Amino acid sequence: MDKNVRKYFSEIGKIGGQKSRRKLDSETARNMTRLREARRAYKRFYTSCFWSFDPNCTIEAEDIQWVAQQLMKNGGRAAWEAGAKLCP
């Protein structure tokens, strides 16, 4: 391996191994994860559970419970499991 390439990989490897500088408490991090999963579930199960809603709808934190309810009420087993994971 070329010396310059090895040096480059060494530099980017150091950056990846450093601890994140983001200061989030665990509750905020959990809420961010729930929001991300709710958005994914809305897109994944759009045709079976959310077909009557806007396909470009932006799911916000206050919509997570609604998404979970719709998944568990209108979807199949996979949708129900995704909705159950969104519930606190």
Looking at per-residue pLDDT, the higher value among 45 and 19 belongs to 45
Segment 38-42 long-range contacts (CB within 8 Å, at least 24 positions apart): 38/63, 38/64, 38/67, 38/68, 38/86, 41/67, 41/71, 41/79, 41/82, 41/83, 41/86, 42/67
DSSP secondary structure letter of residue 59: P
**pTM check: above 0.75:** no
Domain ranges (residues) in the chain: 21-86
- Given a cut of 70, whether residue 47 has pLDDT beyond it is yes
Mean pLDDT score, 71-84: 95
Question: What integer pLDDT is reported at residue 2 of this predicted model?
Answer: 82
pLDDT at 20: 62
Residue 78: is its pLDDT beyond 80?
Answer: yes
